[in-house]
Amino acid sequence: MKAYDGMYIGGAWRPAAGQDVIEVVNPVDEQVIGTVPAGTAQDVDTAVRAARAALPEWAATPPAERAARLAALRDVLVARADEIAETVTAELGSPLKFSQAVHAAVPIAVAGSYAELAATYAFEEKTGNSVVHHEPVGVVAAITPWNYPLHQIVAKVAPALAAGCTIVVKPAEDTPLVARLFADAVHEAGIPAGVFNLVTGLGPVAGQALAEHPGVDLVSFTGSTVVGRHIAAIAAGQVKKVALELGGKSANVILPTADLAKAVNVGVANVMSNSGQTCSAWTRMLVHRDQYDEAVGLAAGAAAKYGERIGPVVNAKQQARVRGYIEKGVAEGARLVAGGPEAPREKGYFVSPTVFADVTPDMTIAQEEIFGPVLSILRYDDEEDALRIANGTVYGLAGAVWAGDEAEAVAFARRMETGQVDINGGRFNPLAPFGGYKQSGVGRELGVHGLAEYLQTKSLQF
Using CB under 6 A, which residues numbered 313 to 332 contact ligand NAD?
318
Among 112, 145, 435, 447, binds ligand NAD (CB under 6 A): 145
244 vs 254, beta carbon nearer ligand NAD: 244
Q: Per CB under 6 A, which region of 22-30, 91-99, 141-149, 249-257 contacts ligand NAD? A: 141-149
**Should residue 270 be labelled a site residue for ligand NAD when binding is judged by CB under 6 A?**
no
Q: Return the residue of 51, 84, 143, 160 that touches ligand NAD, per CB under 6 A.
A: 143
Binding-site size for ligand NAD (CB under 6 A) equals 26
Q: How far is the CB of 248 from ligand NAD (least distance, A)?
A: 7
Sheet of strand 2-3, all strands in order from the earlier edge strand to the far edge: 2-3, 31-37, 21-26
Segment contacting ligand NAD (CB under 6 A): 56-64, 104-112, 138-146, 298-306? 138-146
Q: Which is nearer to ligand NAD, 203 or 396 (CB)?
A: 203
User: Which one of residues 43, 91, 369, 445 is an interface residue with ligand NAD (CB under 6 A)?
Assistant: 369
Would you say 92 or 143 has its CB closer to ligand NAD? 143
Q: Give the footprint of ligand NAD on residues 213-252 (CB under 6 A).
A: 222-224, 227, 230-231, 245-247
Nearer to ligand NAD, 285 or 313 (CB): 313
Q: Is 194 in the site for ligand NAD (CB under 6 A)?
A: no
Nearest distance from C-beta of residue 299 to ligand NAD, angstroms? 22
Determine whether 369 is an active site residue: no
Cα–Cα separations (whole angstroms), residue 144 to 120, 151, 202, 269, 425: 28, 10, 12, 25, 28
Catalytic residue among 173, 245, 369, 408: 245
What minimum distance in Å lies between the beta carbon of 315 and ligand NAD?
A: 9
Contact pick of 207, 311, 339, 373 for ligand NAD (by CB under 6 A): 207
Give me the least distance between CB of 73 and ligand NAD, in Å please.
Answer: 22
Binding flag, residue 204, ligand NAD (CB under 6 A):
yes
Asked if 191 and 40 count as a contact pair (C-beta separation under 8 A), the reply is no
Pick between residue 221 and residue 380 the one whose CB is nearest to ligand NAD.
Answer: 221
CA dist list (Å): 385 to 139, 334, 364, 390: 46, 19, 19, 9
Residue whose CB is less far from ligand NAD, 144 or 354: 144
Q: Which of these ranges, 2-10, 161-169, 205-213, 355-363, lies near ligand NAD under the rule CB under 6 A?
A: 205-213
Q: Is the distance from CB of 50 to CB of 9 less than 8 angstroms?
A: yes
Instruction: Find the Cα–Cα–Cα–Cα dihedral 316, 24, 187, 205, rounded to 10°.
Output: 70
- By beta-carbon proximity to ligand NAD, the closer residue of 115 and 153 is 153
In the list 16, 141, 157, 211, the residue contacting ligand NAD (rule: CB under 6 A) is 211
Q: Which stretch binds ligand NAD (CB under 6 A): 56-64, 104-112, 157-165, 206-214?
A: 206-214
Which residues are known catalytic residues? 245
For binding to ligand NAD (CB under 6 A), which residues are involved?
143-147, 170, 172-173, 203-204, 207-208, 211, 222-224, 227, 230-231, 245-247, 279, 318, 369, 371
